[in-house]
Structure 1
Amino acid sequence: MTRFLLVPGRGVPFANHWSRQWARAHRHYRWAPEPPGAPYLVEDRVAALQAAVAASQDPAILIAHSAGCLTVAWWARQFTGPVTAALLVTPPQTGDVPREPLPFRSIVVVSRDDPHGTFAHGQQLARDWGGELFDAGPVGHLDSSSGFGPWPDGEKLVARLAGPG
């Protein structure tokens, strides 16, 4: 049975955020880690993701938003596990981030008007990580403040990743 691990960004997503809605709607979706109130410390987030991945040998698909995408890249640099794919949604433009190809399939979702990163930066991350680029259009940071709520296109992308490679 495939596990779906939601990797949060820096902050706590609002109750109507698509990731919160998915966690409530799908019994196989788990937080890795539960959205914290504490500051984002990459070492803590990577350790929490590793604990969640290592908790089972069942295949896992990672679903990361914002700084959670960076957590996934740092995790992949240090660990291996039964991860088969990742949906990486609106990675922020920040300083140091691993640029090696990820050892699993990925789709990198990039916004045309993300206040936390340019489209060109997202394109480059998709190339560096060996992922497929998904141009989401002008969707801001694809979060509650941008009007997401429900995100049916994201659910279709997860279904693609869960299907045959």
Structure 2
Amino acid sequence: MTERIRVLLVPGRGKPFPEHWSVRWEAENPEFHWAPEPPGPPYLPDERVADLDAALRASDEPAVLVAHSAGCLTVAFWAQEHSGPVRAALMVTPPFLERPDVTWTPLPFRTVVAASRDDPHSTFEQAADTARQWGAEVFDAGAVGHLDSKTGFGPWPAGERLVKALIAGAPVTG
């Protein structure tokens, strides 16, 4: 019998457009669920962390988290204060956080950061440094902007392969 893995999509600060890869994944995969449902702005970190914690505690089944943009910060803040059945996380284009009062620590689960070469919210080097602080692997997504609808994503086959690898516990390849 195969272990069931939940995939929880952790949204950024805005409500993604219908063609966004995360919206498509949720619609096409019954095991993918929002945690929390994308509310749109404003981004209230404490509320998002509490919502993510509630979604994780709703089941003992292991989860793979797929976070985009500010959702990556939600996952990192959650992991600093909570624990739960998280097997792995895919952190997609995390924004650079310019707050000297925030110090990241390694995340207690396997983490892959998909970093863009031309993200307007973080340089590749900043994303790689954040990944290092989180103890994460870096996946070079190329010049893909912020990996959102504005930059043409839509479908994101490389991301689908990353999620499948994390679910299977397999190595991540380009």
User: For residue 55 of structure 1, what is the amino acid of its counterpart?
Assistant: A
Aligned counterpart in structure 1 of residue 106 of structure 2, from 101, 105, 126: 101
Residue 123 (structure 2) aligns with? 118
Alpha-carbon distance change, 134 to 143 in structure 1, aligned in 2, over 3 angstroms: same
Kindly tell me the number of residue pairs found equivalent between the two proteins: 165
Structure-2-length-normalised TM-score = 0.92
Aligned counterpart in structure 2 of residue 136 of structure 1, from 121, 141, 144: 141
Residue 31 (structure 1) aligns with? 34
SS at match of 2:118: coil
Alpha-carbon distance change, 66 to 57 in structure 1, aligned in 2, over 3 angstroms: same
Structure-to-structure mapping, 1:1-165, within 5 angstroms: 1-96=4-99, 97-164=102-169
SS at match of 1:109: strand
Q: How far apart are 1:93 and its partner, in Å?
A: 1.1
Percent sequence identity over aligned pairs = 59
1:128-151 deviation digits (Å, cap 9, x = unpaired): 101110001100000000000000
Structure-1-length-normalised TM-score = 0.97
Superposed CA RMSD in Å reads: 0.9
1:7-62 deviation digits (Å, cap 9, x = unpaired): 00010000000000000000000000000034101000000000000000000000
| Distance in structure 2 (CA, Å) of the matches to 1:64 and 1:95 | 19
Once the two structures are overlaid, the 10-residue window that deviates more, 136-145 or 94-103, is 94-103
In structure 2, list runs of 5 or more residues that go unmatched: none
1:72-95 deviation digits (Å, cap 9, x = unpaired): 000000100000000000000122
Once the two structures are overlaid, the 10-residue window that deviates more, 98-107 or 70-79, is 98-107
Q: Which ranges of 4 or more aligned residues in structure 1 deviate by more than 3 Å?
A: none
1:81-137 deviation digits (Å, cap 9, x = unpaired): 000000000000122344100000011000000011111100001111011100011
